[in-house]
Amino acid sequence: MTVYLIRHGQSEFNAAHSEGEPDPMIFDAPLTKKGRIQAEQVTAQSWSLKFERS
């Protein structure tokens, strides 16, 4: 069995936290431009995966 794990793209909270400035008031942060690109890339890559049903 193969298991695929996919994490969400970079969010504004992730970007702020990586710069050492986490903001606990950011809820449901939208994706950054980089995060949207990451999401588009994983979507494109997932189309080539073959899923089996059991």
Q: Where are the domains of the chain?
A: 12-46
- Report the run of H or E that residue 42 belongs to, with start and end: helix 33-46
- In sequence order, the 6+-apart residues with CB closer than 8 A to the CB of 38 are 9, 10, 31
pTM score, two decimals?
A: 0.71
* pLDDT tens, residue by residue, 29-40: 899 999 999 999
Which whole number is the average pLDDT over 10-18? 82
Q: What is residue 2's predicted lDDT score, i.e. its pLDDT? A: 82
Q: What is residue 34's predicted lDDT score, i.e. its pLDDT? A: 97
User: Does 22 score more than 80 pLDDT?
Assistant: no
